[in-house]
Amino acid sequence: IHSFVRSAAMLISKKNRVAILSFLFKEGVLCAKKDFTKPKHEAVEDVSNLEVIKLMTSLKSRGYVTETFNWQWYYWYLTDEGIEYLRNFLHLPEEIVPLTLKKTVTRTARGLDAPGGRGGRGEKGGPSGEFRPRYGGEGGYRREGGAGRGRDL
């Protein structure tokens, strides 16, 4: 008796393949809910969720993306080999890079590493010098006359 393994290949139109791969290259990451019957993907227009999952599974098997699966969601991240493959496939120049590789410039009034940079805190990240809590004595949280352990009532 011979056992035959039947492999079902998914045919994805070139228009949908280019739409998925263009979005992946532009963003650098792609996510999809594990729902094979969902008619549309959230981010890529006019493409079914199943097509996104199957194409990304194919890219994962070739080492072009890394996959993380958490809480019924797939997350795919482009590898360096995947960036080169997509540049060749989409005919893009070297200057164009995914958003995950672009450095963002954030402007802040004070740097977070500077003393007092986090809301008036000192160098170690503690409270500023004006903060002096009182623990006992007049007006403190310990008062005389309370009932407690070892106290005769």
| pLDDT for res 55 | 92
Question: How far apart, in Å, are the Cα atoms of 98 and each of 14, 15, 27, 30, 101?
Answer: 21, 20, 5, 12, 6
> Which tokens sit at 28?
């650098």
Cα→Cα distances 90→20, 22, 35, 56, Å: 11, 7, 28, 16
134: CB partners within 8 A, 6+ apart = 140
Q: Which two tokens stand for residue 62?
A: 């070739």
The reported pLDDT for the residue numbered 78 is 93
Return the pLDDT at 69: 92
Give the pLDDT confidence score for residue 94 in this predicted structure.
84
Structure tokens of 41? Answer: 């993907």
What does DSSP assign to residue 105? P
Predicted pLDDT at 153: 60
> In the chain, helix, strand, coil percent, each to 5?
25, 10, 60
The backbone torsions φ and ψ at residue 14, rounded to the nearest 5 degrees and listed phi first, read -60, -35
CA distances from 118 to 16, 100, 109, 128 (A): 47, 27, 11, 10
pLDDT in single tens digits along all 153 residues of the chain: 555 444 557 788 999 999 999 999 999 999 999 988 889 988 888 899 999 999 999 999 999 999 999 999 999 999 999 999 999 988 888 887 787 777 776 666 555 555 555 555 555 666 667 777 666 666 555 556 666 676 666
HSE at residue 73, side-chain half, CA atoms within 13 A, is: 10
Contacts of 73 (CB under 8 A, 6+ apart): 31, 32, 33, 34
pLDDT at 58: 92
What pLDDT score was predicted for residue 109?
57
Q: What is the pLDDT of residue 31?
A: 92
